[in-house]
Structure 1
C-alpha cells in the first residue's frame, strides 16, 4: 500500500491548487487526480447530487489504487465527507474555508469569505463559522460564475474582470483585512484579486494545511512512501476537454500525464 497513490478529486481543475501543495510537500508520492469538469460546478447542485458525485469519484479513485483520498473541493467536503467516511474503508482528507486563522489574526475584526453557494449553505461551514467568528463582522459572498470562467480558461478575460467587480463590491466597501477563499478554484484568481483590493489585504486558502494533514495521516497509518530514489508520478484524468487541465499544470515544468477518462 505504501507505493499506492494519493487520490485527489475536485469538481474540475481547481483542486490542482491543492494537488500542487501536496506534490511540493510529498514529491516522492504518486498522485492520481480526477477532474470532474463534466459536472462542474458542484456549488449550485443539491446536497444529494453532491454526495452521489463524490461517491462516484471515490469509487473510481479506489479502482485506480488510491491509498488515501483528498477531497480537494470545498463544496464536496462540506456536504459529503461524512457520508464518504461512513461508507468507504479509506481515510479522507477534506478542505474547508480557513476561517479560523483569519478570525484569530484579523486586526480590523472584519473578514470576507468568497465561496460557492454549496459551501456557504452547508451545516459544516455554519458550524465552523459560528465557532470562530464571534465578535467579528463576516461578509460572505457567493462566487457565482467564477468556477465556470476558470474552467473555461478565462481567468484574464474581460468577462472575469466584470464579474469580479460585481461580486467583490460588498467586500471592497468594508474594512476587511482578511479574505478567505472557500473554493479550491479560487487560488488561481489571487493575482486578479490583488488587483482589486488594497495591498495590506491578506488572502488565505487551505492548500498548505491540507498538504500537511495528508502527510500526517499517511505517517499515522504507516502509508508514507519511503522510497526516495525518484519522484512520484502524477497522473491527471478529466471527463471533459483535457486542454484546460493541461494548460493549468504545464507551468510546473514536469512531464505530467493528462488523460481523458469517462467516470
Structure 2
C-alpha cells in the first residue's frame, strides 16, 4: 500500500478539533481519522491500557496507509508516545497542553489548566509544567465527565451546564487570565466556557501548533504533498455510533465520509 495519508487518532471525536487545524493548513493532504469512541475516555485508564489502545490505533492507521501519525489526544501523547516512537518506524506528532505560551503571557501570574486525570498525572505533563510555571500559581482541574457528554453529543445540554459550573468553581475563585485546554475534546466547549468567564480570559489549545509541527515534519522527511491540483480526501472512522462524529464533521452537508469500522 502506498503511504499517502496523514493518520490521526483520538479516544473519540475530540481530535477532530486537531484535524480541522491540519486540514486548514494542509488542504491538499489526504487525512484518515480514527475515533476510538468505544474506549473513551482514555483519561480514566491506566498507563498500560492507554499504551495498548494507542498501539492498536497506530497499527490500524498504518494498515490504512498513514505516512505520519498525529496522536490527537493529550492523554495518549503524555502516556504512550515514547513507546510508539520506539516501536514503529513512522513519524509521530504529539499533543500537549499549551502551558508554555500561557505561562509566558500571563499578567496575573495565575493560569488554569482543564485536563483529564490521565494527562495531569503523567510524567510528561509534570515535567513540562515544572519547566515553565516557576513563580506562577497553577490551578489544575480534572474535567471528569466532560468527554462522555461531548461523545454523547450533549455539548449544549443542561447537563453540561451543571457539570461545567461545578468543575470551573476553583478556576473562578482565582484571578486566572489564561485557561489552557488539556484535552482535544475541550475546544468544542469554548463557546460555553466564554459564557462562564470574563471576556478578558484567554483560552488556548494546541491545535494550531500541532498543525504547524505536522507540516514541518512532513517537509523535513520529504513527505509533504506538492500536488496542488485537488484537495486531499478526508475519511473518518469510528468504532461506535457514527451519528455524533458525522454531526461534528458535517454540520451542514455530507462533504466528508464518516464510516463505522471495527478496530
Fold match by TM threshold 0.5: yes
Secondary structure of residue in 2 paired with 1:251: coil
Q: Which residue of 1 aligns with 2:161?
A: 161
User: Following superposition, which runs of at least 4 residues in structure 1 exceed 6 angstroms of deviation?
Assistant: none
**1: CA distance, partners of 2:228 / 2:48:** 42
Alpha carbons of structure 1 residues 63 and 93: separation in structure 2 relative to 1, 3 Å: same
Secondary structure of residue in 2 paired with 1:212: helix
2:138 aligned with 1:138, yes or no? yes
2:33 aligned with 1:33, yes or no? yes
Q: Deviations over 1:119-177 (max 9, x none)?
A: 00000000000000000000000000000000000000010000000000000110000
* Mean Cα deviation higher: 126-135 or 244-253: 244-253
Secondary structure of residue in 1 paired with 2:250: helix
**1: CA distance, partners of 2:177 / 2:238:** 37
**1: CA distance, partners of 2:210 / 2:139:** 24
Structure 1 spans left out of the alignment, 5+ residues: none
Instruction: Determine if contact 1:51/1:83 at 8 Å carries over to the other structure.
Output: yes
- Give the 5 Å matches for 1:221-232: 221-232=221-232
Aligned-residue offset at 1:81: 0.1
Q: Which residue of 2 aligns with 1:43?
A: 43
Alpha carbons of structure 1 residues 189 and 133: separation in structure 2 relative to 1, 3 Å: same
| Aligned residues: CA RMSD | 1.1
Q: Which residue of 1 aligns with 2:90?
A: 90
* TM-score between both structures, scaled by the size of structure 1: 0.98
**1: CA distance, partners of 2:138 / 2:77:** 21
Aligned-residue offset at 1:12: 0.1
Aligned-residue offset at 1:251: 3.2
Alpha carbons of structure 1 residues 6 and 241: separation in structure 2 relative to 1, 3 Å: same
Secondary structure of residue in 2 paired with 1:55: helix
Instruction: Determine if contact 1:2/1:222 at 8 Å carries over to the other structure.
Output: no
Secondary structure of residue in 2 paired with 1:32: strand
Structure 2 spans left out of the alignment, 5+ residues: none
